[in-house]
Every structure is written in C-alpha cells, then in structure tokens.
Amino acid sequence: MKLSKALLMLLLLLGAVILMSGCSDDDDPVVVDEDPPALAFAGSDVCGTCHADTHDQWFHSGHPYKLTKIEGNTAPTADFPDPSAFANAPASPPAGTQWSDFSYTIGGFGWKMRWIQNDGYIYTPATGENQWNFESESFANYHAGETKPYNCGSCHTTGWVDSDDGNAANNEDGMEGFLGTMFAGGVHCEKCHGMGSQHAFKPTAYDMTVDNSSYFCGKCHTRGGDNGITPGEAVIEASGGFIKHHEQYDEWYHSGHNSEHGPGCNDCHNPHASVVFDASTPGEGVSTTVTCASCHVDGAFANIASTTHGHGATCVDCHMPQASKSAYASNIYNGDVSTHLWTINTSVNGMADMFNGDGTAVALDGSSMGAITLDFACYGCHKDPDGVGGTGSTKTLEELAARAATIHTYTTKNIALK
Ligand code: HEC
Ligand code: HEC
Ligand code: HEC
Ligand code: HEC
Ligand code: HEC
Ligand code: HEC
Ligand code: HEC
Ligand code: HEC
C-alpha cells in the first residue's frame, strides 16, 4: 500500500504534535515558528481586521475622537463617524481664525470643542471666544488670556510620553506648547489593552491585557489622578453649583455601588460602545441586560409603575440627573453630564446640603458617601416656585421632601447578589 505524500506529511505532523504535547505539562503546545515582531503599537485599524464588531462599536464612541488632527484648511468633522451627532458642530472655527491656524481640535464628540494652535498651545485669546458648546450651539470663553500648554495627553491620547523638559524638539512635531509625544490622539484599543503588535502577529500565543476594574476607567474618569492623588480618594470637585465633569469614578467611589455586590463601570457599560450616542450607534453603551432592576429586585423597584410616583419617570431620571457640568447648563438644576452618585438626600435645604460650605466639593457624610439633593433629582421635570426647572408642575422643596419620603413602597432594599 502506497501512502500519498500529503497523507505522509499529515501523519508526521500529528506525530510531532503528540510528541510535543507529551513533553509539556498541562499547557497546550504553542508552536511559534517565526520570530515575533518587537512589542509596539499596531494601531486600531489592525485590531479591527479581526475584531470587526468591537472596532465598529468603538469607532462610533467618543474615545477615539479626543484629539483630532486638522489637515489643510478644512474642519476635521469628516473624521467623526456619526453625521447626526454633528448637525450642531461649529460651521467655522472661532471668529478671526481659519482651520489652518490650528493643528488639532480637542473633543467635539459629546460636549464641546477647543482648538490647539500650530505652536501647540491651546487657543486662549484675551478677547474673543474659543470653545464651541454643542448643546447651546454657541461659543464660550475658556481661560481667556492665559497661556495654556497642552498637557492633557495622559487621558486624551494613546502612547503619551511627557516631554516637559523645556526642549521643544522633544515635543510632538516640535510644537513648543505641546508637552509630549504620542502614538495617536484619542483613547485607542491599545490604551486599554496594551501594545498589540505581537498579539496581532499570533493571537493565540500572545495575550492582551483585559482589566475590567472600575479603578482602570477611574484613571481618566477622575479629577484626582491628574493631581497625583489616588482616584476616588480625592474630593468630588464642584464649581458654579454643579459637580465638575470627568469625575464618574470619584462619584461611584463615594456611592453605595462601591460595595461588594454593587455594580462597577463595566457591569452597566460596554466599554467599547457609546453612551452619548447610544440610540444611533452600534452596541449598547448602557447595558440592557444588567439594569437597575436586575439587582434592586424588590417589587417596589423592579417595576417602575409600582413606585407610587409613576408618571413615566425612570430610575435614571431621578437617580442620575445631570447634576454635573462639562460645557453648558440650561438652568441651575440641569447641567450636561449624568451624575453617578445615585443616593438621594431628601433634605428640604436642597443643594445647600449637597455641597460643602464654599461650594468647591460634594459634601460627604460620616461614611464618606455623597448624595444628590431633591432639586437636582426632581426639577428636571418639576418647577421650583420661581418657575425654574422642567415642564411639569410647580413644587416647593417641602412638597418634594414630603413626597420623597414615600416615593418607593419597598420594605427592604432587597438587593440580589451580583
Ligand atoms: C489576526 C487576528 C487578530 C488581530 C489582528 C488582533 N486580534 Fe485580538 N484576538 C484574536 C483572537 C483569535 C483572539 C482569541 C485568542 C484566544 O482565545 O487565545 C483574540 C483575543 C483578544 C482579546 C481578549 C484577550 C483575553 O485574554 O480575553 C483582546 C482584548 C484582544 N484580542 C485585543 C486585540 C487588540 C487590541 C488588537 C490590536 C492591537 C488585536 N486584538 C488584534 C485575533 C486577533
Ligand atoms: C484625568 C484625566 C483628564 C485630564 C487630565 C483632562 N481630561 Fe478632558 N476629559 C476627560 C474625560 C474622562 C472626559 C469625558 C467625560 C466627562 O467629561 O465627564 C473629558 C472631556 C473633555 C472635553 C469634552 C470632549 C467632548 O468631546 O465634548 C474637552 C474639550 C476636554 N476634556 C478638554 C481637556 C483639556 C484642554 C485638558 C487639559 C488642560 C483636559 N481635558 C485634561 C479626562 C481628562
Ligand atoms: C476604554 C478602554 C477600552 C478600549 C478603548 C477598548 N477596550 Fe476592549 N475591553 C475593555 C474592557 C474593560 C474589556 C472587558 C469587558 C468586560 O469584561 O466586561 C474589554 C474586552 C475586550 C475583548 C474581549 C471580548 C469582549 O468583548 O469582552 C476584546 C476582543 C476587546 N476588548 C478588543 C478591543 C478592540 C479591538 C478595541 C479597539 C477597537 C478595544 N477593545 C478598545 C476596555 C477597552
Ligand atoms: C485614557 C483615559 C480613559 C480611560 C482609561 C477611559 N476613558 Fe472613557 N473617556 C475618556 C475621554 C477623554 C472621554 C471623552 C471622549 C469624547 O470626546 O467624547 C471619555 C468618554 C467616555 C464615555 C462617553 C463617550 C460616549 O461615546 O458615550 C464613556 C461612556 C466612557 N468614557 C466610559 C469609559 C469606561 C467604562 C472606561 C473603562 C473601561 C473608560 N471610559 C476608560 C478617557 C478615558
Ligand atoms: C449589580 C447590581 C446592581 C445594579 C445593576 C444596580 N445596583 Fe444600585 N445598589 C446595589 C448595591 C449592592 C447597593 C448597596 C446597597 C447597600 O448595601 O447599601 C446599591 C445601592 C444603590 C442606591 C443607594 C442605596 C444605598 O443604601 O446605598 C441607589 C439609590 C441605587 N443603588 C440605585 C440604582 C440605580 C438607579 C441603578 C440603575 C442605574 C442601580 N442601582 C443598579 C446593586 C446594584
Ligand atoms: C420619581 C423619582 C424616583 C424614581 C423614578 C425612582 N426613585 Fe428610587 N428613590 C427616590 C427617592 C426620592 C429616594 C429616597 C427615599 C428616601 O430616602 O426616603 C429613593 C430611594 C431609592 C433607593 C434606596 C436608597 C436608600 O438609601 O435607602 C433605591 C435602592 C432606589 N431608590 C432605587 C430605585 C430604582 C431601582 C428605581 C427604578 C426602578 C428608582 N429608584 C426610581 C426617587 C425615585
Ligand atoms: C449602575 C449603573 C452604572 C454604573 C455602575 C456606572 N454607570 Fe456610567 N452611566 C450609567 C447610565 C445609565 C448612564 C446614562 C445616563 C443617562 O442616560 O442620562 C451613564 C452615563 C455615563 C457617561 C456619560 C455621561 C453623560 O452625561 O452622557 C460616562 C462618561 C460614564 N457613564 C462613565 C462611567 C464610569 C467611568 C463608571 C465607573 C466609575 C460608570 N460610568 C459606572 C450607568 C452606570
Ligand atoms: C421624568 C419626570 C419627573 C421626575 C424626574 C419627577 N417627577 Fe414628579 N411628576 C411628574 C409628572 C408628569 C407628574 C404628574 C403631572 C404633574 O404634576 O406635573 C408628577 C407628579 C408629582 C407630584 C404630584 C402627584 C403625586 O403623585 O403626589 C409630586 C408630589 C411629585 N411628582 C414629586 C416628585 C418628586 C419628589 C420627584 C423627585 C424625587 C419627582 N416628582 C420627580 C414627572 C416627574
């Protein structure tokens, strides 16, 4: 009997595999027949060749668009993926300038856009306007007249290396005011998973890092880390009657959810998908499988119709109002970032009890917990006696407090274990 050449090869190979697995202990044999490339950034496009769905979700979220290069004399908005998000984009850069006066835009995906000059400094003229707010569709002033180098890269870019050594030659493109170098603008795959050249070369031989802790998201979604303070342990900074933006971790840290059975960022969020444009983009920025009612299973929570308030108000309407502000507030109770404190303080004093004496931070109770007050929780829909608030009926803080005390009919918080 004559074996075909191909069959012979197959048998030889099988033999080799059996031999190899015999030699190793428990691990699968890993045959690396070529030298791997040096460990380096591969770029999100390369990741997308195999992880197409994940790439699609991420591409439609805010993370990639934190720092966008301006090419020539045209708006970079063509680089943003969702035209519907940019119906309210600035038609032109700040008055008296043109796109070619700038090297990059900062942000512009969710809340606001700023500009970086060709010398690397953030555009902050003494007069005139330099920040575009998407919600109000108007310009505002940001640090007018101050010299503002761009040193924001640790949270806004991938592969950022500080170069604050006074030598412009060590900065990105030699720009004097741009105090670092980077692999790419924006939060790319490899910012969260580590450099991927070797994994892309042979995925089964080289694992990527996956860190789904809240602390990891907290390195950027904080105001502690950038001041050298451990995220979370910092106070929750406030100003102008609102919690400041990018403090989701600090808020979560001082909430009931920072507990053994409480949800972390990635229980409620898909880290790849957009929340801001959840409805119009692929993926679920906010999970529809893990919801508030998955854990708060008491009938009083599980079905919103059984809260005694009703009227279509959802858990998030009352418990995650926009008590934080990035760019714009439509009134004193309504900023533009959803707060992550959840607990509602039913005091009749309203926000006077939410912040510390000078309004620079959220007041924490004896157990280091923060809370939102009824004015934020309820005046998104109701109006205060001065007519400020939503489109619903007018209610004094006393009326709200009286109602809040019996708003849920729960007898126990009855939290299901995670
Ligand atoms: C050639 C195809 C390919 C490319 C390119 C690729 N991956 Fe993968 N990736 C895979 C496969 C296959 C797996 C599953 C591997 C396994 O089960 O051992 C995987 C798994 C992963 C995981 C999960 C790891 C774990 O331990 O659970 C992450 C995260 C990941 N890839 C990220 C990336 C990133 C980031 C890039 C770009 C730098 C990338 N991948 C490029 C094919 C690829
Ligand atoms: C500690 C990390 C961190 C640092 C440092 C940081 N930011 Fe941000 N920034 C964020 C996060 C996170 C968001 C989005 C979440 C939010 O605003 O609540 C954000 C949002 C923004 C936005 C709005 C983006 C959009 O698409 O609308 C702008 C503009 C911005 N930052 C500018 C800056 C500038 C300028 C600096 C430096 C002077 C800076 N940031 C420093 C983390 C940071
Ligand atoms: C903001 C951080 C962040 C970015 C950016 C990011 N990931 Fe992830 N990724 C995560 C986290 C966190 C998990 C784990 C999620 C979990 O366990 O709930 C994860 C999980 C994964 C997994 C494992 C399977 C899964 O979906 O749970 C793959 C594969 C993956 N990411 C690929 C990518 C690719 C490709 C990109 C870029 C297109 C990317 N990631 C960008 C944070 C990120
Ligand atoms: C390297 C810093 C960094 C890390 C790490 C990071 N983020 Fe972000 N995140 C940002 C910045 C900057 C923005 C603002 C982007 C923009 O312009 O919209 C942002 C925006 C967001 C948004 C709003 C954007 C949208 O499209 O809805 C969500 C939600 C979010 N991050 C969740 C997470 C989660 C969850 C994690 C952890 C898995 C995480 N982030 C880790 C920096 C970071
Ligand atoms: C993974 C389970 C889980 C999910 C999902 C969840 N929670 Fe919680 N929640 C908890 C746990 C556990 C606590 C802490 C309870 C305690 O021991 O005091 C808590 C605490 C709270 C508190 C403060 C009560 C307290 O005593 O600290 C509020 C308010 C709250 N959750 C509302 C919500 C809302 C609104 C949602 C949806 C946006 C939600 N929760 C989603 C598990 C969950
Ligand atoms: C109309 C506004 C409103 C809606 C809608 C609402 N809540 Fe509440 N919730 C409150 C108020 C006010 C309190 C504080 C009651 C108190 O302290 O006596 C509260 C208390 C709670 C508490 C207990 C906090 C504690 O410290 O004991 C939990 C848990 C909770 N809500 C979860 C939910 C969930 C889950 C949903 C959605 C199914 C929801 N709530 C919908 C207003 C609301
Ligand atoms: C209990 C569930 C839950 C947890 C835990 C949670 N989030 Fe959220 N988050 C939400 C919901 C729901 C929204 C959308 C609120 C809305 O639609 O008004 C949101 C919105 C956001 C936004 C967009 C803000 C805006 O105004 O559009 C960012 C950024 C964000 N979360 C980051 C985080 C980070 C970082 C963590 C962990 C420190 C975290 N979240 C933990 C439920 C959660
Ligand atoms: C999503 C919008 C929404 C939110 C948020 C909301 N309400 Fe209401 N509320 C309504 C509507 C609609 C009605 C019925 C029509 C009216 O009175 O405006 C109502 C009615 C009421 C009434 C009169 C009827 C009754 O049931 O007693 C009180 C009191 C009340 N709400 C208290 C509160 C309190 C307290 C909060 C905050 C913890 C709150 N509401 C948050 C929409 C809302």
Residue 386: predicted pLDDT: 98
Residue 208: nearest ligand to its CA?
1
Residue pair 202/32 in contact by the 8 Å Cβ criterion: yes
392: left (phi over 0), alpha (psi -120 to 50) or beta: beta
Residue 149: nearest ligand to its CA?
2
How far, in Å, is the centroid of ligand 7 from the Cα of 50?
A: 28
Closest ligand 7 atom number to CA of residue 292: 1
Residue 12: predicted pLDDT: 36
Residue range 284-294: mean pLDDT, rounded: 89
User: Could you tell me the pTM of the whole model?
Assistant: 0.94
Protein residue with least CA distance to atom 12, ligand 5: 262
Residue pair 154/226 in contact by the 8 Å Cβ criterion: yes
Residue range 77-102: mean pLDDT, rounded: 84
- Give the rounded percent of residues in the chain with a pLDDT score beyond 70: 85
Residue 226: predicted pLDDT: 59
Residue 257: nearest ligand to its CA?
5
Protein residue with least CA distance to atom 25, ligand 6: 343
Residue 309: predicted pLDDT: 82
Residue pair 216/192 in contact by the 8 Å Cβ criterion: yes
Of 66-80, 344-358, 401-415, give the range with the top mean pLDDT.
Answer: 344-358
Residue range 245-254: mean pLDDT, rounded: 96
Residue 375: predicted pLDDT: 98
CA distances from 132 to 91, 92, 124, 327, 362 (A): 10, 10, 13, 9, 28
Residue 278: predicted pLDDT: 86
Residue 181: predicted pLDDT: 98
Ligand 7 pocket (Cβ < 6 Å) reads 214, 217-218, 221, 248-249, 252, 257, 263-265, 267-269, 275-276, 286, 316, 320, 337-338, 340
Mutating to test ligand 5, I would choose from 291, 314, 342 the residue with most ligand atoms within 8 A of its C-beta, which is 342
Residue range 48-53: mean pLDDT, rounded: 98
Amino acid at 74: T
Q: How far is Cα 243 from Cα 250, in angstroms, rounded to an integer? A: 11
Residue 407: predicted pLDDT: 83
How far, in Å, is the centroid of ligand 6 from the Cα of 328?
A: 27
Q: How far is Cα 254 from Cα 267, in angstroms, rounded to an integer? A: 17
Protein residue with least CA distance to atom 32, ligand 4: 271
Protein residue with least CA distance to atom 1, ligand 4: 155
Residue 408: predicted pLDDT: 79
Protein residue with least CA distance to atom 2, ligand 2: 220
Protein residue with least CA distance to atom 30, ligand 6: 301
Confidence of residue 30 (pLDDT cuts 50, 70, 90): low
* Mean pLDDT across the chain: 87
CB crowding 338-360: b at 16 or more within 10 Å, else e: bbbbbebbbbbebbeebbeeeee
Ligand 1 pocket (Cβ < 6 Å) reads 42, 46-47, 49-51, 189-190, 193, 196, 199-200, 203-204, 207-208, 210
pLDDT digits (tens, 9 = 90+) for 213-237: 999 999 999 997 655 677 777 789 9
Mutating to test ligand 6, I would choose from 309, 318, 395, 409 the residue with most ligand atoms within 8 A of its C-beta, which is 318
Which residues does 133 contact at the CB level (< 8 Å), separation at least 6?
A: 111, 112, 139, 140, 327, 328
Name the nearest CA neighbour of 138 among 130, 147, 127, 150.
Answer: 130
Q: How far is Cα 120 from Cα 175, in angstroms, rounded to an integer? A: 5
Asked if pLDDT for residue 61 goes beyond 70, the answer is yes
**Of 186-200, 300-314, 382-396, which range is least confident?**
300-314
Residue 26: predicted pLDDT: 44
How far, in Å, is the centroid of ligand 8 from the Cα of 301?
A: 17
Residue 231 near ligand 2, beta carbon < 6 Å: no
Mutating to test ligand 2, I would choose from 61, 112, 152 the residue with most ligand atoms within 8 A of its C-beta, which is 152
Asked if pLDDT for residue 63 goes beyond 70, the answer is yes
How far, in Å, is the centroid of ligand 8 from the Cα of 373?
A: 15
Residue pair 292/392 in contact by the 8 Å Cβ criterion: no
Residue range 104-128: mean pLDDT, rounded: 94
Residue range 95-110: mean pLDDT, rounded: 94
How far, in Å, is the centroid of ligand 6 from the Cα of 240?
A: 26
Asked if pLDDT for residue 283 goes beyond 80, the answer is yes
